[in-house]
Amino acid sequence: MTGKTVIVVGGGLSGALFGLKLHRARPGWRIVVVEPKKKLGRGIAYGACGPQHLLNVPVSRMEVGLTPGFAQWLEPQRAAIAEALVESQLDLAAAFVPRRLFGDYMEERVGEALSRKARSGFTAVRGEAVRLLEDGRGVLLTDGREISADIVVLAMGNLPPRPPGGPDRWLYDTGYFIPDPWAADAFSDIDPGEPLLLIGAGLTMVDIALRLSAEGHRGKMLAVSRRGLVPRQHKGGGAWPEFLHDKIPATPLALTRLIRAEIANAAAQGIPWQRVFDAARPAVPAVWESWSDRHRRQFLRHLRPRWDIHRHRTAPRIGTALDRLLDSGQLDIISGRIAGYHEADMNLDVSLKLRGGAARDFRCGHVVNCTGPGSDFDKIAIPLIADLRARRLVTPDALGVGFETRDCAVLDGAGKPSTWLFALGPLTRPAWWEITAVPEINLQVERLVAQITQEKAAEPLTTADFFGMGEGI
């Protein structure tokens, strides 16, 4: 195969990493990364963050097979990450460093490839793809440009957060509501002393509360979620063997009981529960694949919140900083739901129904959507996704969490895998569920590169490959 043109829609981590690895494998191909943002390789996770935002995993889990490696690239910056090194007892591989550093690292790798564009096939186009061309092989941009290709890879990352529902939805069309806390102007008009209501209590809430505090916000912050569950911290020490591979298939309830039993066994041996979740990680795609839609719905509705706070943890320093905010009283986290909003003297009076039946009122200046990425692929009206749906080039899954795929090949409306349209990362959640962390994405990227660059089909990506990834946080 020579002279192919591959369009990568999305220039965040998934898209940039795929483009770089495909370019390395086929330097003679034309690879075009289409991305509206100025900087490539960062995405939201590693772009819209400050120095107080740390990686949720240590440096060793962020290695993606590029040269230099992430740890090697960090070596000259030891003085700048001294706090992280002290925390990890000078072990760079075990350090939780600022997220923006990984963004800097990826942006630099992309920049190196693009700097040779006069003599290389790796290029970037700044724009937004709004639909595929009539024959499918290529994309149309908002400015009218058309780019033809042999292969199109969708790597658009997470969807923007959606409004959280509930009563009085008129609020979402007013200036009181901050729909996307990662938008550049999200907090441009808030007063440093005003109280804020944060909807959601997960990792997004933690990031936003710490960011606002670091930027001098003095007002009270109240976070509300249905269960009031907050992400747990990482903890070092010990190891636990993988224990799920021979228990699949099993229902969500059976697996919950099994994990609790393993945690109890680990605790009896002085081993943190975190190691049990780390040992379970490689089995997640296989577990998800084995479940029926009914079991998947059961997990999403009842078990996912507890799974997420234990599986997706914070760096120790982040947990300590969050505790300080809570202890100071500036941040409060409650379990409940919104009962209604009322305008009052240029502010909002929020009626809250707490878990257990009690009521609480809270006056705030703004309401911040901290519910995390959206996932309504069956409804979202983002132009490209809507076009793909309307033309039956993709099939949203029954739960609306992504597109149906087979080994990254997108399934069309008839259930047939495409030979030219592929997807990476969160778009492929229906097949794997957890496909947002760097190790899983890196594995998926490498397999897709192998698949489309070989004359004969490469071995398909299966759930067994994730077991081979090895456990870890």
Structurally, the chain folds into a number of domains equal to: 3
Q: What average pLDDT does this structure show over 391-400? A: 92
State the sign of the Cα–Cα–Cα–Cα dihedral 105, 36, 29, 389: positive
Looking at the fold, whether 107 and 249 belong to one and the same domain comes out as no
- Residue 119 has a pLDDT of 65
Residue 363 lies in a domain: yes
In a domain, 145, yes or no: yes
Considering the domain architecture, whether residues 382 and 458 belong to the same structural domain is answered as yes
Residue 238 within any structural domain of the chain: no
Mean pLDDT score across all residues of the chain: 92
Max alpha carbon distance in the chain (Å)?
A: 68
What is the pTM assigned to this prediction? Answer: 0.93
Residue 240 maps to a domain? no
Domain membership of residue 127 (yes or no) is yes
Higher pLDDT among residues 261 and 2, named by residue: 261
Q: pLDDT tens digits for 64-91? A: 999 999 999 999 999 989 999 988 888 9
Q: Would the pLDDT of 117 be above 70?
A: no
Q: Residue 430 domain-assigned?
A: yes
128 and 48 in a common domain = yes
Which one, of 68, 54, 158, 59, lies nearest residue 100 by Cα?
A: 54
Residue 123, pLDDT > 80, answer: yes
Checking if the pLDDT of 249 tops 50, the result is yes
Please state the rounded mean pLDDT for residues 145-164. Answer: 93
Q: What percent of the chain has pLDDT over 70?
A: 97
Write the pLDDT tens digit of every residue in 168-225.
999 999 999 999 999 989 999 999 999 999 999 999 999 999 999 999 999 999 999 9
Q: Is the pLDDT of residue 290 over 50?
A: yes
Q: Are residues 9 and 131 in the same domain?
A: yes
Are 302 and 362 in a shared domain? Answer: no
Q: Are residues 299 and 363 in the same domain?
A: no
Using pLDDT thresholds of 50, 70 and 90, give the confidence band for residue 47: confident
Does the residue 296 lie in any domain? yes
Contact 27, 38 (CB under 8 A): no
Domain that holds residue 349: 169-231+314-369
Provide the pLDDT confidence category of residue 1 given band limits of 50, 70 and 90. Answer: very low
Among 342, 369, 396, give the residue marking a domain's end.
369
Same domain, 354 and 416: no
Phi, psi of 457 (to 5 degrees): -60, 135
Given 279, 311, 343, which residue is the final one in a domain? 311
In a domain, 236, yes or no: no
131 and 268 inside one domain: no
How far, in Å, CA of 434 to CA of 285, rounded?
Answer: 7
13 and 100: one domain? yes
8 Å CB contact between 41 and 16: yes
pLDDT above 90 (res 467):
no
Angle subtended by helix axes 273-280 and 252-268, to nearest 10: 140
Residue 94 CA to residue 97 CA, distance in Å, equals: 9
357 and 285 within one domain: no
Backbone angles phi, psi at 408, to 5 degrees: 80, -15
Note the pLDDT of residue 116.
72
Q: Do 359 and 379 reside in the same domain of the chain? A: no
Q: Pick from 335, 351, 369: which residue ends a domain?
A: 369
Asked whether residue 211 falls in the same domain as residue 131, the answer is: no
pLDDT band at 461 (very low <50, low <70, confident <90, very high): confident
Q: What is the CATH number of the domain that holds 345?
A: 3.50.50.60
Q: Is 418 a residue whose pLDDT tops 60? A: yes
- Report the share of the chain in percent with pLDDT over 90: 81
